[in-house]
Amino acid sequence: MKRILILLVALLTLVAFAGGVMAQTPAKSEKPSTAAEKPKAKPAAPKPITGTVAGYEAGKMIAVKVKDKEMKFDIAADAKVKGEVKEGAKVTVAYKKDGDKMVATSISVPAPKKEAPPKKAPEKK
């Protein structure tokens, strides 16, 4: 009986030490992971919105009325502006979210459509 008890204690001690050693050994990987190696998320593509200019400060902000709501955008320093932006003009604003702010990356005002001259009625003889 003493032999079995001594053998059991020795076995449990061996298991305890082996388990402790395994718990301390870090798992080895082929490449150490660093913050620089993490895959970078693609920047969000700008979203376009079309509406009427409700307010505009060149290089600072633009407010666009879309249906029944007004949306305000900060204008990025490198934003591309095509056409003459003025209140009441129809514009398309491409924007992206930067935290809580919406930042316009491009503003375009479509060129006014040139109306074709009215057609003359054929002369009757």
In a domain, 85, yes or no: yes
At 86, is the secondary structure helix, strand, or coil? coil
Q: What is the pLDDT of residue 23?
A: 61
**Which tens digit of pLDDT belongs to each residue from 27-51?**
666 655 555 555 666 667 888 999 9
Beta bridge partners of 64: 53, 71
CA end-to-end distance (rounded Å), the chain = 134
pLDDT at 14 over 60: yes
Q: What is the pLDDT of residue 113?
A: 72
Mean pLDDT of the chain: 82
60: domain CATH number is 2.40.50.320
- Number of structural domains the chain divides into: 1
Beta bridge partners of 56: 62
In a domain, 27, yes or no: no
> What is the domain extent for residue 73?
47-108
3 confidence band (pLDDT: 50, 70, 90): confident
